[in-house]
Amino acid sequence: MSEWAFPGAEDRSLSGSEELVQAFTRSAKPPSLFRIGMEIEAFGVDASTGMSIPYSGERGIEAILARMAEGGDWELQTESGRPVGLARGESRVSLEPGGQFELATSPCRDLFELEREFETYRRELDAAARPLGVAFLGLGVHPFAPVDRIPWVPKARYDWMRRRLPSRGHLAHHMMKSTAAVQVSLDHADEEDMAAKLRVGLALSGVAAALFANASLSIGGPNGYQSLRGHVWRYTDPSRCGLIPAALGPGSFGYADYVDHALGVPVLFLLRDGRYLEIDASFREFLADGLGQHRATFSDWSMHLSGIFTEARLKNVVELRSVDSQPPDRVLAVPALWKGLLGHPESLREALAFVEGWGADELDRLAEAGARLGLGALFRGRPLAGWASDMVALARRGLDRADATGPGGRREPELLAPIEPWAGAGRSPGQEALDAWERNPAGIGAWVVDRYRF
């Protein structure tokens, strides 16, 4: 849940919604300054049993964070004296509610810079964890531990979410503790560019989720889905999850429209003097009426934006959020897909034409069908595999246009290669784990640790 700093995120009181629109306007950048960022989550497990590691103890989360800080130039981050993350420059390692480690990269110039940062982190994480008998796994859901066997991370924010969210969705605790994702952040040039990227990101969220579906095992066996994570998010909190229908509609959509959407979302977090306060109001109501002596600030707004969990969302960047966590060999294909689709003006125009006329209702149905069936689901009478193949081809052309070259003459389209065979075969990656389970159910633990280990 890390984020790049939002313009104006301070404790000054807000006078009205126009200030919020202006803050989004200030977050735009010229294309010459565009960067790409990624957040990647992974489950820490006992390498011999597959069960979640504890927060405390010699083989726990605290110990691994401390080993990473001692072994390199990471700075340990604490809350109430307890380790809860690491910082290095603009990069962050944070903990999700169930102890998932999340790397939030620095803003990178190209995919190869992003790849180097991820690979450095992966080596450091494994060097700290492997001697303790711990493995970190890139999967969309925890493959072995029941949700009640996954310990909570001792953070005030998560304690607050733990108590509030279940009243809004019966799978909220599953979302918090037993899911993991890859999220990609892209800059935007202006209001029109933002709207186009948000629209395409939302419209293609279900196709991308099915292409990368990687959450088919739970409690050691098949769970009935290619991406159980995708299903779980649908029953977390409908007011802050899913799609943004206005961004998919036929009319124009701008910063003011996103502000209007966000103002209508119930406030989840209100922090004063280190304490979270009870509030039962949308941000629009809080902005107008306050809460007792408290008035809405930019800091409140920034925190509010971080509690909107739609498949694509706007902060100071456009963030694409629909894809399950992946094993190391497929991780970079996720930012490669989104950069290829959204990163070049001509490619973005092609992507907009590709999703022309796709509406929120049919995309909502697609999300559930794709979570269950993966690329075998149908959309507009056609298997998702066909849509996914076309989408990847668009992304490949977009990366060709970007013409970025890495070490040894490598080019960015190569990073799509790990996912292209799945689209071509019409099979989601979640099927790989199901096939392994069918071959040898008794050996699935060792296979999963070996296949998905960071």
Indicate the average pLDDT of the chain: 96
Domains in the chain, ordered, with CATH?
17-452 (3.30.590.20)
pLDDT of amino acid 9: 52
Q: What is the DSSP letter of 426?
A: T
Dig out the tokens for 358 from the structure: 């796709």
Compute the distance between CA of residue 270 and CA of residue 294 in angstroms, rounded to an integer.
10
pLDDT digits (tens, 9 = 90+) for 161-200: 999 999 999 999 999 999 999 999 999 999 999 999 999 9
The average pLDDT across 35-64 equals 98
Reported as half-sphere exposure (CB side, CA atoms, 13 A), residue 126 has a value of: 14
CA 235 to chain CA mean position, Å: 17
At which residue do the structure tokens 């299903």 appear?
A: 231
Residue 6 has what pLDDT?
A: 53
Task: Give tens-digit pLDDT for 317-367.
Answer: 999 999 999 999 999 999 999 999 999 999 999 999 999 999 999 999 999
CA distance 379 to 41: 29
Region for residue 24 given its phi and psi (left: phi exceeds 0; alpha: psi -120 to 50; beta: otherwise): alpha
In contact, 340 and 395? CB cutoff 8 Å:
yes
CA dihedral 279, 281, 283, 286 (to 10 degrees): -70
pLDDT at residue 276, as a whole number: 94
Hey, is 453 helix, strand or coil? strand
d(CA 309, CA 306): 8
Question: What is each CA distance from 87 to 44, 77, 84, 217, 272, in whole angstroms?
Answer: 19, 7, 10, 32, 24
Does pLDDT of 3 surpass 70? Answer: no
Q: Is 51 helix (H, G, I), strand (E, B) or coil?
A: coil
Q: Which helix (H) or strand (E) holds 435?
A: helix 430-439
Q: Are 186 and 317 in contact (CB under 8 A)?
A: yes
Q: Which residues pair with 13 in a beta bridge?
A: 297
Quote the percentage of the chain above a pLDDT of 70.
98
Query: Is residue 417 pLDDT above 50, yes or no?
Result: yes
| CB neighbours of residue 23 within 10 Å | 21
Q: Give the residue-averaged pLDDT of 83-97.
A: 98
Residue 300 above 60 pLDDT? yes
The proportion of the chain whose per-residue pLDDT surpasses 90, expressed as a percent, equals 94
Q: What is the model's pLDDT at position 406?
A: 86
Q: What's the pLDDT at 4?
A: 41
Instruction: Indicate if the alpha-carbon torsion angle 424, 427, 433, 439 is positive or negative.
Output: negative
Instruction: Please say whether the beta carbons of 209 and 370 come within 8 A.
Output: yes
d(CA 376, CA 226): 10
- The model's pTM is 0.96
* Contact (CB, 8 A) for 239 and 282: no
Length of the chain (residues): 454
56 has a pLDDT exceeding 90 = yes
